[in-house]
Every structure is written in C-alpha cells, then in structure tokens.
Structure 1
Amino acid sequence: MDPATRVHEGFLRRVAEGDLPVPKGRAADAGLAAADLLALFRAQVTSRQLDRMARVLQSKGQGFYTIGSSGHEGNAAIAHALRVSDPAFLHYRDAAFQIARAGQVPGQTPLWDMLLSFTASSDDPTSGGRHKVLGSKTLNIPPQTSTIASHLPKAMGAAFAIGMSRRMPPEQAEWPADSVVMASFGDASLNHSTAQGALNAAGWTAYRGTPLPLLFVCEDNGIGISVKTPEGWVADSLKSRAGLEYFACDGLDIVDTFRAAKKAADRVRRRRRPAVLHMGCVRLYGHAGADVEAGYRPRDEIAQAEANDPLIHTAARLIAEGVADAQGVLDIYTGIWAETEALAEKAASRPKLADAGQVMAALLPPKRDLPRLNGPDPQARAAMFGAADLRALDEPQPMNKLLNLGLADLMLETPGLVMAGEDIGKKGGVYGITKGLQARFGPGRVIDSLLDEQSILGLSIGMAQQGYIPMPEIQFLAYLHNAEDQLRGEAATLPFFSNGQYANPMVVRIAGLGYQRGFGGHFHNDNSLAVLRDIPGLVIGCPSTGADAVAMHRAALRMAREEGRVVVMVEPIALYPMRDLLEEGDGGWLTRYPDPGAGIAPGDLGVHGDGTDLAIVTYGNGHYLSRQAQARLADRGIAARVIDLRWLAPLDPGAVMAAVQGCDRVLIVDECRRTGSQSEALMTLMAEHGRPDARRIAAEDCFIATGPAYAATLPSAEGIVAAAREICA
C-alpha cells in the first residue's frame, strides 16, 4: 500500500475507533476558542488533501509537484499566532500555514489557487503557471522556491528594513513598521551555509543593538531526504546562537504550537529582536512522490511517524474538548476531499502557458508608479559638497573621484537609497569610492556590514521588498561567487515566480576585472563575468571612464527605482585612478562631471572616432587599451573607431550593428577569459548579422598571477595593434 493511502486509511480508522492520543492542556488556556480549533483543523485537512490530490494528478499526467506538507501541518497554528500583515517567507512544506492565513482574509480561495498551481495553470494567481510555489501578495507571502534556506538572508533583510522604516520610511512601504518577519526552514537546511550565514547575520545585527523583528521557524522532522538529523542537534545548535532567543514547541499539538508561536512573535514584536522557534514534527509520505522511503528508513520508524499524524492529534483535541464528535471530524475530512476532487477536475482543464512569450512575460517586473526625481536640491548640494568638491565638479577627474561625487549626488537626490557593504562606511571602501558618504548621510544609509557577501545581498533583497532602493557593494568580483545564488536564485527569479507581483529593485556595485599591477592575484583580479551574464533579466553595466560611470549609475538607479530592475555595475578597479592615456602626464583619461540628470541607458554606446578601416568593439579596460591602440594604428595608416559597449546586458544588437556599419573589418577586444566571455556572444551576433569576418582578442583561460606577470594572460594594446594590422592587411 502506498504511504498516502496508508496514512489516509489510518486516520479514518483511528478516528472511527476512538484510538486517539490524550491531548495536553486546554485550548482556552492558550487563547484558542472552539471556532479557532475548527479553523485550524480545516486548514490542516485542506493541506493534507492537497498532498493526496497532488499524487493523483501526477499519476494522470495532470500534476507536476508532489513535495508535500504532510506531517508539518502544525504550522497552521503559527499562522494563527501572527498577523496577516506580517510577511512570511515560507518553507516549501508550509501549505497549512498559507491556508490558515487565507482563512483570516475574506474572499480567499486557497484550495482552488493551490490546485491551479499543482496543475501549472496560467490562472495560478501566484506564479501564473511557471512553478508550484507557496505565495500570495494579498497574504504577504512572497513566493519561495528554496529547498536550502536561500530565502533566509532576504528575510533577515526584510526584518532589517522594517526595523529601519520607523525612523526612515521608504517611498512605498510594503509592510507596516510594527510587523514581524517570519522565515521557516527545515532541520536539514539548518546545516546549509546559507542558513548558518543568515542566523549568524541576524544574531550579529541584534548583538549590535539594531532593530531586527525576525522570527525564524525551524521545522524539525528529524530527517533530510534520507539522512537523519542527529538527536538533539537542532536544539543545541539553535540554543547556542548569540543574539537569538530560543523557543520550542510540539508541532503535533496545535495548542502548544500556537502558545509558543504567540509568545515568540509577541516577544519579537515588542523587543524588535530576533528569535527562533523550534517546531518538532514528522514527515509523512517520504520526501516526495518518487521517493521510496522504505528503501532507506526502517519500517518501524515510518510506522511511528505515521502513528503521530498531526491530524490525528488535532482530531483528538476536537473530540476531547467537545468541539466536534468523531463523525463530525470525519465529515470535515471527507467533505474537504470531495471538494478537492471536484475542484481538481476543473483545475486540470484550465489553460496552461503555451509559448515562450507567455513564459517570459513575467521575467521583468512591471514599472513602478513613482514620481520622477528631478535631481538634488542645489542649495543642499552646495552645502553637502563644500568648496573643494564643487571645484572638482568643474575640473577633469579620474573615475574614483567622479564616482564618489556621483554617489553623493544620488544619495542626496534619492532619500530611499541605502548602501551596504564591507568597509564602505568609516573607511570609505577599499578604493575610497564611498569615502565621506557615511559622515554625510549617516550609518543608517551607509551601512558597514559584516564580512559575508550572501548576507549583504540578502539584506538588500529584503530591503528592496520593503520599498527601499539598496545599493550593496561587493568588495571584489571574485567574492561574488560566495553569494551568487542570492542574485541567481532569489533576486532575479522573484518577478518570474510571482508573476510580476514582487520585485527586488537594486543596484549592486562590484569592483572587478583585471590589470591591477602586482596586487592580489586572482582573488582581487577576476576577469570573468560568466556568473552574471547568464542570469535572465539581470542588467549589467561596465563603465570605463569617470563621466560614463556617473551617468550609468544614474541610469541604473532609475531602472531600479522606476522599473524594479536588478542592476549590477562592474567597476574596473584598474581604471579607478587612471589619469593618462597615451603618455605620462597627458591627462587623457580624465573626464568632467556630467551635468545633473544626464544618464547613459542601455543601448547608448560610446563611439570614439569615425574611421572605416576597422571597428573595435570592447568595454571596460578593453576600451582603455583600444584607445591606445587606435592612436598607434593611425600612425600606421589604419583609421579605426572604438565602440565602447558600456552595457553588457541587455545587449542591443541593433545598436551594435549600427555602430560597426561602414567599417571594413571588426575586431572584438574582451578582457575576460576566452571561454564564457562577452566576446562569444559578440562573435555570434556578428555572424548572425552578416559580419562573419569579425575576429576577437580575449584573455587566456587562466587565472591571473600576482606580481610582474599580472597582465600576461590579458589583452594588451600591443596585441590589439598586431591583430588589427593582421586583419587589415
């Protein structure tokens, strides 16, 4: 007999025979009335019947998801202990939580909505048929697809933002300033570095006295797929967390769970400090539909878990407290199954996504209804900069100085803009780009973070969902790899899996690429953008001059604020201090501060020169080297134009091809590694648009060395000249 049928028949038999456990305490003592008990039981049963139906639908080829919530239905009581306005970042076994919360809001149809999700119908109100996810905009449940707790860092960020919104309200707050953020995860996920990082970041933040109204919920069923959780491990691990208050409950008992959850939530709401609720529960039906639990778990253990079915415990309480008799309990159970069967048949016939256009329609969030900003106030700006910086605005400067001035302007113009990163405050960043900004705008807007990139990005995602515009800094491009899933699996996917209902507007600043002389090797010189280039919906900018950097950051902020976009600005470290171009002292790479309001949007290429012998298509440090080569080529009779892409994603094919039009030859110069570089896409673009003669120069497929060989594997001006002369011969 399959486990779903076995558990189902066991419930019917035990309720009918009165073979029920004896409940502890009374519901009224915990503040639960008879109507509350009935509502919670109905939510639990609805979740259970959905799990059963998911397997039926899959057997018919009509359903596509069978990781269920059976055994975890006690989390319905946690929903009852919280407010509907409290954002909930849910574990994938928390269907009962969402159903219980839906019962607190008139007009909700959770059974129908979840069946639409199971059958991948485009009518699904959460994801529009793109994925089976828990989530609801109305219920303040942002959808998650995480199985390894990657939603915990952004839950921490949301709690931070809610705590901050009391003293600095965002333009459009998503949640009230007295909200508590709830984030649930499993006992196996507790061991993942993402969960450990989020718990640590929450404790670290609380330890510093910063408000953080966050309630973690660890749902401990004692096993992760097939690997047992050591007895006592979860409790001992969570109890030892500095800065986190520990609570525990028996998830089989909705009264005990409600009592503990209410106490924990009230404590977090009042003290504005994080806590963790450890909920013991069981796992029924195995990990998922295809999982043969008997292949790795002793039968007596499986039987023991099934004997502790939380629905049996709740039924026992309803009967013991006179809320319903045995037949009434069975009527509820069978009645919800009949309703589930009828609705499942209808849901299976509802429309599905039919083509790529429909699937991609939610890749980008809808534009936000916000007033256009008109630049910083002139008087406030004059007071902020002072005489020295005002003079600098009128004189040619290197990129690091102009970026510093440009970021100050953006902070002044945009009250909801918040920066966060390692060493960006008092120190002003490794390269001084944020120097003086914390003194000007305060530590609440220029946040010195702990040393943890995933927490920096998670903080930013959560802040974005509360209505701020975060501008996190990743100290070096190589450090992004510690946290890339926060962009790939969380920030970029949220519009897609919420059908455009949620977004993560932010501008991520990353110091990167190569050509630093003798500094840091590949940890501080990382010439690969592959980790970013294949993330759908992500905007990637790479300025090469100071004026472009300022104008592009302005455009990036507009895209984030007005369009809800996730934008990554990769700033070439080697060009931060660059002053000269062709010879020492010529000041050829200095630029003037662009007029306030001037921006450079995607598709606006930088074209330098009007030569027709050769078009050099490049970006970043490649732009600098190509301009040097351009001058040397002119001395040899080759008239070249240099095309700076500026924006690497989205790439505008029409603009690129228009820029090379009329040139006899095309040379692509890419400082990133030959494999996985932008040049691969550009070569394909040229071939597809009638320029198969294009050639490329790229870095070797190698890491970067420290010392005199810092540029040995990278393109050089000399190499560009040699390649140009060869193809123009």
Structure 2
Amino acid sequence: MDRADIVHDNFLRRLATRDFSHGRAPSGAFSAFQGVEIYRAACLSRALDRQSRVMQRAGQGFYTIGSSGHEGLAAVAAALRPTDMAFLHYRDAAFQIARSQQVPGQSIAWDMLLSFAASSEDPISGGRHKVLGSKALAIPPQTSTIASHLPKAVGAAYAIGAARRHRPEHAELPEDAIVYCSFGDASANHSTAQGAFNTAGWTSYQSIPLPLLFCCEDNGIGISTKTPKGWIAAGFQHRPGLKYFACDGLDIFDTYATAQEAAHYVRTRRKPAFLHIRTIRLYGHAGADMPTTYLPREEVEAEEAQDPLLHMARQLDAAGALPASEALAIYTETNARVARIAAEAVTRPRLRTAADVMAALIPPKRTCKPTNGPAPEAREAAFGSDMKQMNDPQIMSRIINWALTDLMLDHREIVMMGEDVGRKGGVYGVTQKLQQRFGPDRMIDTLLDEQSILGLAIGMAQNGFVPMPEIQFLAYLHNAEDQLRGEAATLPFFSNGQYTNPMVLRIAGLGYQKGFGGHFHNDNSVAVLRDIPGLILACPSNGADAAKMLRECVRLAREEQRVVVFLEPIALYPMRDLHTDKDGGWMCRYPARDEVIARGEVGIHGAGDDLAIVTFGNGTYLSRQAEPLLAAAGIKTRIIDTRWLSPLPKAALTAAVQGAKRILIVDETRHTGGLAEAFMAHFHETAPGVPLARLTAEDSFIATGPAYAATMPSRDSIVTAAKALMEAAQ
C-alpha cells in the first residue's frame, strides 16, 4: 500500500477519534482566523501531494516530490509580508499557498494543478516544469534541489540596501522588504550553500545591510542519507554574522512566533538570520522512492505518527479556534475539491512543439530610458586627465576602461562586482579609477568566491540593477558555471519570461599570455558557455571593437534582459604592435559614444577571393600578422572576425565568405569541442563545394613558460595551413 494512503487513512481515523499526537500546548499570538488559514493551507498542500500521485499513476501528472511533513511552513509565510521576495525549497507548497491567502485574486489550487499537469496554461512556467513560483506572490521559480539558489538570494538581499542608495529604473522590491530563502538540511552541506552562508556572514560582519532570512527545513534526511542529529544546530548556532533562531515545525504557534521574531530582526537590523525549523518527511523523497527499502518500518511509522496536520488540529482544537470535527471536514472537503479541480486541469493544453518549449528562452524586451545618468558636464569631471588622451591610439585595456566609464555614467543602474575590481582596479588594470569615479557601492570588491560573485549579480538583477560581474580568469568560471547554466539562463525559461536576471559578465580569458599562469590563467575552452541556451557570448579582438561591442552588450542586458558574457582576450589587453616593434598597429582610438557593433555583425578585413580566414579573438590578430606573408605568396585573403561566438552570426558569416574560393578556420580553442566544429558544420551546409580546412589548438591544457603558445595556432602555422589548403584545392 502507498505510504501516502496509509498516512491519509491514519489521519482520518485518528482525527475522528481525537487520537492526537502528544505535543506542546498552543502558546502564541496569532488570531483564530490566522490559525485556521494556516491549517487550510496545510490541508491543501497535503491534498495536492496526494493528487499528484494519482495523476502520475494515470499518466496525467509528471512530478511527485511533495511537501508532506513540511506543512508548518505555512506559519512562516503568515509571519512574512507578501512583498518579501521568497526563494523557496521545493517542499514549500504550504508556504506558497499560505502566501496566496495574503494576496487578493489568487486561484492557487488551480494554478498548482496546472503545473502538476504540465499544462501550457500553468501561470508560472507555461508547462515547462513543475515549479513553485508566482509573480503576484514575489516567488521566483526555483528548479534547484541542491541550494544553488542561495547565492542569488544573497544578491537580492544586498540589492535592497543598494537600491536605497541608487534606486534603479526597474526596481521591484520595497525598501523595507526582506528576502526569504529556504532549503533542506541535506542541501545545507552543499558547497554552493556554504559559500552563500559565508558570503552573508562576511557581508554582515562588515555592517553592510543584508536583510536576508535563511530557512533550513530540517527533516533529518537527504533521500536516504541521514543528517547527523544536531549537525545543523552545531554548524549554525555560533556562525559569525548570522543570527540563529530555532523552532519546531510541528508546532505552528512556535513556528509563527519564531519566524515573526526572526523576520523582525532581519527587517529592523538589516542583517541576515538563520531560521532552523524541525520538520519531518512523509512518503519518502518522491513517488518512486520507498522509504522502507532503506529505513526500518518502525522508524517510518514513528515518523508518520507525528503527522503535522494532526498536531495542527490538536493545537487549534485546544485553543478553541477550530474543533476537531470541523478540522476533519475541512480536510475532507479540500481533498474532494482538489480532485474536482484536477479532473479539469488535466484536460488543459500542453506544450507540443519545439517552438512552444523554446518560446520562453529569450526574455521579453522592456522599455528603458535612453539614459539614467548625470548631466553631460559630469563626464569631464569623471574622466579628468584621461580626456586629453582620447584622440590618441590606445591599448585595448584602456579603451575598455573608458567604455565602462561612459556606460556607468549613462546608466546609474550598472553595478560592477568581482575580486579586485575596485580599489586595485583589476588584475590587469581594466577597472582602474572606476571606484574613485563611482564609489564602492557601484564598484564592489567581493570576497574570493566565483559562485558568490555571480549570485550577487543574479540577485541584484532581480531588483532592477544591470550587473556587470567580473570573473578574473576564464579558468575560474568553472568553479561557478552552474550559476549561469542552472540559475541565470533558466529563470526566464521556467518563469515564462516573468522573471529575468539580465547581466553582462566580463571574463578575462583565452591564451597567449607570455610567461605567466599556465592553465589557471590561460584557458582556451569556451564550450561550457556556448552550450547554455539563451546566453550571448561576445569576444572582441581590438580596443575599438571592444568598446562598441560592450555598448551593445549593455543594451542587450538593459533593454532585452539578456544574459551576456563578454570574453576579453588577456593577451590583447596590452598589445601595441602588429608587424614590427613600435609600429603601434594594434592600438585604436576611442570610438565616438554613439558607435556600436550590433549583435550578429562580423568584421571583415580585406577583399581577397583566394582565401577567407574565419576566426576571432587572438586568431584575428595572428591572421592579420600572417596576411602580408600570404600576400607575398600570391594568396589574396580576407579576414573575418566573428566577434559574436554564441549564437553564431550565421547569416553574416555566410555573406562574408561569399565569393571566396577557399575557407580556412583559425580557432584558438581546442580541436575537440571548440568553435571550429560549429564553423565547419555551418560552411559545409551553406557553402557546398568550397574547400574547407581548420587550424585549431591541440586538445591540451596550456603550459607556463616558453611553451605558452606551443599548443595553439600561430602566425606561421596559419601561413602553412593556408598554403596547404591552396595546394590541396588546385
């Protein structure tokens, strides 16, 4: 027999006979009406869990991780405000239901059953996933089960204080709001969660406002692995910068009072707190999980005897708020109502085509003011002596710095964050003087944790900021790439475009640094970025292009709410010369402020029809070095700088190679999984009969010292590959 049916039958029998579980007497200060509403939310949560199993057995539902045992979280919702943004644990249906009671016009049972049925009419995800979430209830959807939503909760809480100082155009959260973030005891052990706790404590320790309430729902087990008794309390009772509160989730009076106290602390002190709630888990992890296969039956039955609904009914009966007979009637009526609603929900339409599914990958555009910046004369004050040098050719790093300055002047909602970006001005000096120009509120020096840097950006974006986080080196992104894949890029997809977290992530990367770093500071793999649906990846090859493309990247984030990665080739930051010493051939003048390179626009140098070299980044520089040698060999070339690496600008690439007799792809990323694979496939499909060849980096990490470039394309290897292609295609 299904454990859900056993729990249900036991509840009916015990409540009818007043066979209550033993527990504390009601003691607290919420009204009888609030108590009954909490119980109603709990009953609806339980009924939905049971119905999800019925729907799955009938092939009409597709998700059975339920909230049974965690119904006490309805009391936490009652203690908060519906404008407090909530990043919810996947067992928090009762919280969402209780919050819906605080906002007029909600049809929460219908909404959640549409989600169970994967209907395209599901108001939060449009049928793409069963998620808790609601725009009206300030609950962004979460798909994580391992607490990867915690870093962005830290960022959202930080954004509330930041918005008090610099109110963004599209700010959503009230100035007196707090952020609520819940998770399970097993997830609290995940490195992502630990990083978020540490970041919150680190921030609070410095008296920086962070109104964040963490909530650990401790049911003592993660699927089949038990949490050691007392582990959560031992780990969080004395954590620096994090105030600890604890309560019994089986006691709604205690839970409500403690949550109210914790929320008051966070709201008035603007400091983070940790609410530790004891819960139980009923039925096992999900529908297919049988707890009696890894736990003694006696232990499972003892847990079931502590059914939270029985404890609620006992306390409300004792308080005179709800007689047991009426509690039983509410439970029975709720189950019947859910079954009736479900019968209609399963008939509603579902997504059918790839286009239907993908319609929410790209977030909707929004209207933005042309500028939110100060008066024009402020520009001269910000740049100071740099203004005199703008007519002279400059290296890429300085031009990027000026572009960032202009963008931050134009758009006060732009905030930069990262390790060493502020006082030091970045490892390569790209962000020098920006903290002096804009202050530490907008140039945030973070702790050393890439997950927290990206989480800060994601969370701030949800309160109207346009974050420009920096990851110091491309190799360091791999510590935190799931913040892009599993959080930033999925948010519009799983909220049907209702929630977004636009940003421009700057990363110093690629290879060719002389004598420094090895594979930790030179990384020529971008496969993980190109594999994320909806993400835009840009890579300039020179300073002028970098400024023009940055302007477009910020526009894409501000107006189109896109997640953009701006990959800056480290080796080209200081590059001055192209062919000979002191020729200054790779320096550029700072482009006029209205000059932009639109997404999908490629660069073309030369008009030769013997050979088209398709490349990007350092490859563009090396191909330009090879150009005179090829001309001396009688090979007329054109060099195509792709610039936009994901999605590839296919139409522009096809047009750029039109008329070329041969195509050589020069790709500084690896032979396996690199850009060349996509280029080869594209030109094979769109330029049939045109001879193709590729020159790529080896499938290797990058060495330190004299062999720093040995595994990657060079000027000479480009010349050799071009000549070989010319000869093979005679």
Look up the SS of the partner of 1:514 in the other structure.
coil
Give the letter aligned to residue 93 of structure 2: A
Tell me if structure 2 keeps the 8 A contact 1:377–1:413. Answer: no
Structure 2 vs 1, CA of residues 267 and 375 (structure 1 numbering), >3 Å: closer, same or farther? closer
Aligned position for 2:89: 91
Give the letter aligned to residue 171 of structure 1: E
Tell me if structure 1 keeps the 8 A contact 2:372–2:412. Answer: no
1: CA distance, partners of 2:328 / 2:525: 61
User: What is the aligned length?
Assistant: 726
Match 1:244 to one of 242, 266, 281: 242
Aligned position for 1:417: 414
Give the letter aligned to residue 262 of structure 1: Q
Q: How do 1:123-134 and structure 2 match up within 5 A?
A: 123-134=121-132
Look up the SS of the partner of 1:702 in the other structure.
coil
Aligned position for 1:536: 533
Q: How do 1:152-551 and structure 2 match up within 5 A?
A: 152-373=150-371, 377-386=375-384, 388-551=385-548
Tell me if structure 2 keeps the 8 A contact 1:376–1:410. Answer: no
1: CA distance, partners of 2:25 / 2:313: 15
Cα deviations by residue, 1:206-237 (Å, 9 ceiling, x for unpaired): 01110000000000000000000001001011
Tell me if structure 2 keeps the 8 A contact 1:374–1:597. Answer: no
Give the letter aligned to residue 7 of structure 1: V
2: CA distance, partners of 1:485 / 1:185: 18
Q: Give the CA deviation at 1:295.
A: 0.7
Aligned position for 1:6: 6
Match 2:637 to one of 623, 637, 640: 640
Give the letter aligned to residue 24 of structure 2: K
Cα deviations by residue, 1:245-292 (Å, 9 ceiling, x for unpaired): 000010011111000000000010000000000000000000000001
Cα deviations by residue, 1:601-621 (Å, 9 ceiling, x for unpaired): 211111000111000000000
Give the letter aligned to residue 615 of structure 1: A
Structure 2 vs 1, CA of residues 620 and 709 (structure 1 numbering), >3 Å: closer, same or farther? same
Q: Give the CA deviation at 1:376.
A: 7.2
Tell me if structure 2 keeps the 8 A contact 1:76–1:99. Answer: yes
Q: How do 1:524-673 and structure 2 match up within 5 A?
A: 524-673=521-670
1:684 aligns with 2:720: no
2: CA distance, partners of 1:495 / 1:515: 37
Give the letter aligned to residue 140 of structure 2: P
Cα deviations by residue, 1:502-552 (Å, 9 ceiling, x for unpaired): 111100000000000110100000000011000000000001100011111
Give the letter aligned to residue 585 of structure 1: K
TM-score, normalization by structure 2: 0.98
Aligned position for 1:704: 702
Tell me if structure 1 keeps the 8 A contact 2:21–2:305. Answer: no
1: CA distance, partners of 2:211 / 2:126: 31
2: CA distance, partners of 1:406 / 1:39: 55
Q: How do 1:20-35 and structure 2 match up within 5 A?
A: 20-22=20-22, 24-27=24-27, 30-35=28-33
Tell me if structure 2 keeps the 8 A contact 1:602–1:651. Answer: no
Look up the SS of the partner of 1:389 in the other structure.
helix
Aligned position for 2:16: 16
Structure 2 vs 1, CA of residues 377 and 543 (structure 1 numbering), >3 Å: closer, same or farther? farther
1: CA distance, partners of 2:141 / 2:516: 43
Cα deviations by residue, 1:673-701 (Å, 9 ceiling, x for unpaired): 01111111110001111345211111000
Q: How do 1:35-50 and structure 2 match up within 5 A?
A: 35-50=33-48
Q: Give the CA deviation at 1:23.
A: 5.0
**Stretches of structure 2 lacking an aligned partner (at least 5 in a row):** none
1:148 aligns with 2:146: yes
Give the letter aligned to residue 694 of structure 2: R
Tell me if structure 2 keeps the 8 A contact 1:122–1:352. Answer: yes
Aligned position for 1:714: 712
Tell me if structure 1 keeps the 8 A contact 2:170–2:464. Answer: yes
Tell me if structure 1 keeps the 8 A contact 2:372–2:411. Answer: no
Q: CA RMSD in A?
A: 1.0
Tell me if structure 2 keeps the 8 A contact 1:512–1:570. Answer: yes
Tell me if structure 2 keeps the 8 A contact 1:554–1:599. Answer: yes
Look up the SS of the partner of 2:547 in the other structure.
helix
Give the letter aligned to residue 366 of structure 2: R
Look up the SS of the partner of 2:696 in the other structure.
strand
2: CA distance, partners of 1:401 / 1:369: 31
TM-score, normalization by structure 1: 0.99
Give the letter aligned to residue 120 of structure 1: A
Q: Give the CA deviation at 1:64.
A: 0.2
Give the letter aligned to residue 577 of structure 2: D
| Deviating more after overlay: 598-607 vs 555-564 | 598-607
**Stretches of structure 1 lacking an aligned partner (at least 5 in a row):** none
Q: Give the CA deviation at 1:323.
A: 2.1
Q: Give the CA deviation at 1:160.
A: 0.2
Look up the SS of the partner of 1:471 in the other structure.
strand
Look up the SS of the partner of 2:164 in the other structure.
coil
2: CA distance, partners of 1:711 / 1:726: 22
Look up the SS of the partner of 2:266 in the other structure.
helix
1: CA distance, partners of 2:693 / 2:718: 11
Q: Give the CA deviation at 1:652.
A: 1.9
2: CA distance, partners of 1:690 / 1:45: 63
1: CA distance, partners of 2:73 / 2:102: 15
Tell me if structure 2 keeps the 8 A contact 1:375–1:596. Answer: no
Structure 2 vs 1, CA of residues 670 and 466 (structure 1 numbering), >3 Å: closer, same or farther? same
Give the letter aligned to residue 168 of structure 1: H
Q: Give the CA deviation at 1:83.
A: 0.2
Tell me if structure 1 keeps the 8 A contact 2:21–2:306. Answer: no
